[in-house]
Structure 1
Amino acid sequence: MLSQLKAFLEYLRLNRNLSVHTVRAYKSDLNQFICFRAKALRRSADQVPLTDFDRDAVREFLVGLYERGLSARSQARKLAAIRMFGQYLRREEQIDKDPAKSIRTPKLEKKLPAHLEVNEMAQLLSMPDTKSWRNCRDKAILEVFYASGLRLSELVGLDVEHLNLSERLVRVKGKGGREREVPFNQFAAKAVQDYLDHPEREKVIKKVRLAPASGRAVRPVRVRGNPLFINYRGHRLSTRSVDRLVRRYVKAWAVKMGEDPKEFEHISPHALRHSFATHLLARGMNLRAIQELLGHELLDTTQIFK
């Protein structure tokens, strides 16, 4: 079956005008199916015959995905890849019937605001390698977003003094000037501490405070507050910069996982806030408590996660 898959992927590249990432996603999903069948047949993947591509094999594969806890969305995507493969083989007259044609698409759960699943968030949080101070900063940003559910504007507005790392609390000023305290977990606390302790961060701050101005005598540069998240100039990161940063890591994660990045273009900093709320609700947290953490004035606003 691998030789037919290779021909199918070549067909997609040449005739369907699909992106490299989309073709890669098809390859990943179909390779998973073939490896699943190889394990069931106790053969190597290159020994799985095309005659094994039947309705029962596809159904068993979907059952396996369900038992592994994959989301209905992921199951549906893999089934769509199998269907397209079957349609291609049918047109090429290599099979008599399309094995997946009569198989129902897994019922998608009620549509929630854009968010990532728990395992997807865990993978995203592990993306920064933390070798440089900027990567330490990026990891801290991702961890704080997911651990506290802050709005983008709230996160970029944080000063170092707004965090109590020992108590794992952050004080934020939300919409309408309303202040609230939000707890965060030990992973976010460690990521922030590692970022603050990085020697390169202090060097950036000292350098910017003594930056020369137009060839005149050295004078301090005015920096408002004591911003927590800074750029290489020592200035507070803008909302636009953080938005780009998050989207860059989401894209890199999608590519690493063999997914089509276009499917995750909607994942923004606000989607990390949604992930925070959705996962808390799934674990049984009271909706009113989530409302307070998110800083929603009305409970109706929080109801979208229910």
Structure 2
Amino acid sequence: MDDRRAIALFLDMMAAERGAAANTIAAYGRDLAQASEALSGRLGAADARGLERLVHEWRDLAATSLARKLSAVRRFFAFLVSEGLRADNPAGDLGSPAKGRPLPKTLSREEVDRMFAVVEEEAASGTPAGLRLKALIELLYGSGLRATELVSLPRAAIKPGTPYAVLKGKGDKERMVPVSTRAGEAVAAWAATLGPGEKYLFPSGGTHMSRVRLFQIVKHLAAAAGIAPARVSPHVLRHAFATHLLEGGADLRALQSMLGHADIATTQIYTHVQSAHLVDLVNRAHPLADRRQDD
């Protein structure tokens, strides 16, 4: 089967069976078409050496672009095998060049504590601004929301006493995120200040708070906590949420679901947590951890 036909079948499967968003399907189509062109129309018939040549050809791309393209190729070959169009999968061990993907910026627990000390002081004043700040930061760090997801939250998205919220994220895909007791209480206190006709949890000028305003609030908070504002953003707090959960022993698949990542490879960037912590976790949790040697 020629590449164009195989790629079309793969994209049909992604749309019908996986429910992939139109933008995702378009990106896969472009990436696979470029891969096919690079291999002279022989992508579907390529062996491991051919795919390594493909990686070499893409070596100067940005890390995020390279990761996306390689993910498309891996999924394409998995599809070919599942449909019986190939007996082997040479893309199974397809890796990236050594330069790899940059690690996400994050914050230490001590830095997060300093930010929350400022938040608590502001919220203790009982002003709407202080209550809003606490609700925003509790949801950013406590639930790992994206900036756009947070500012556009419907007023009814977080229900009192419910330990989770169902959100629409990238590609209009729904996912369930945790809402801690602290976050729930902060949201309830803030929501009590809103008028009865407000549609959004964080309204502004007839619509919802802008991403720009959220970034300004977070950077002002960082400065007040003695942290360089350039190091902090809503996305950095999302990174901190993920990193600190992994440090606490969270399961990578559960974290993938909470963050709304379509590909587990995206979530794996957070496995840069301290190796010493992971070794300690194995030493404490492994079934053989407390077995003592007699000699």
Q: TM-score category by the smaller chain?
A: 0.5 to 0.7
Where does structure 2 lack aligned partners over 5 or more consecutive residues? Answer: 1-101, 272-295
**Per-residue Cα deviation, 1:18-39 (whole angstroms, up to 9, x for no partner):** xxxxxxxxxxxxxxxxxxxxxx
| CA–CA separation in structure 2 for the residues paired with 1:126 and 1:192 | 18
Identify the residue that residue 247 of structure 2 maps to in structure 1. 282
TM-score by length of 2: 0.53
**Of 293, 296, 301, which aligns to 2:258?**
293
Identify the residue that residue 267 of structure 2 maps to in structure 1. 302
| CA–CA separation in structure 2 for the residues paired with 1:127 and 1:190 | 18
Superposition pairs of residues 1-306 of structure 1, within 5 angstroms: 112-128=103-119, 129-130=122-123, 131=125, 132-198=127-193, 201-202=194-195, 226-231=199-204, 233=205, 235-254=207-226, 261=228, 264-306=229-271
Question: How far 1:279 sits from its partner (Å)?
Answer: 0.3
Amino acid at match of 2:232: I
* 3-state SS in 2 of match to 1:150: coil
Where does structure 1 lack aligned partners over 5 or more consecutive residues? Answer: 1-110, 207-222
Question: How far 1:235 sits from its partner (Å)?
Answer: 3.8
Question: How far 1:117 sits from its partner (Å)?
Answer: 1.2
Taking a change above 3 Å as real, the CA distance of residues 189 and 160 of structure 1, as seen in their structure-2 partners, is same
| CA–CA separation in structure 2 for the residues paired with 1:277 and 1:290 | 7
| CA–CA separation in structure 2 for the residues paired with 1:300 and 1:228 | 32
| CA–CA separation in structure 2 for the residues paired with 1:235 and 1:253 | 30
Question: How far 1:267 sits from its partner (Å)?
Answer: 1.1
* 3-state SS in 2 of match to 1:171: strand
| CA–CA separation in structure 2 for the residues paired with 1:113 and 1:294 | 14
Task: Indicate conservation of the 8 Å contact 2:138/2:182, yes or no.
Answer: yes
Question: How far 1:119 sits from its partner (Å)?
Answer: 2.3
**Per-residue Cα deviation, 1:26-82 (whole angstroms, up to 9, x for no partner):** xxxxxxxxxxxxxxxxxxxxxxxxxxxxxxxxxxxxxxxxxxxxxxxxxxxxxxxxx
TM-score by length of 1: 0.51
Question: How far 1:234 sits from its partner (Å)?
Answer: 5.6
Question: How far 1:284 sits from its partner (Å)?
Answer: 0.6
| CA–CA separation in structure 1 for the residues paired with 2:168 and 2:239 | 19
Q: Where does structure 1 differ by over 3 angstroms across 4 or more consecutive aligned residues? A: none
| CA–CA separation in structure 2 for the residues paired with 1:234 and 1:268 | 25
Identify the residue that residue 214 of structure 1 maps to in structure 2. none
* 3-state SS in 2 of match to 1:172: strand
Task: Indicate conservation of the 8 Å contact 2:158/2:184, yes or no.
Answer: no
| CA–CA separation in structure 2 for the residues paired with 1:276 and 1:269 | 11
Higher relative contact order (CA 8 A, sep 6+): 1
**Per-residue Cα deviation, 1:217-250 (whole angstroms, up to 9, x for no partner):** xxxxxx7xx100123x464101111111111101
Amino acid at match of 1:122: D
Identity of aligned residues (%): 35
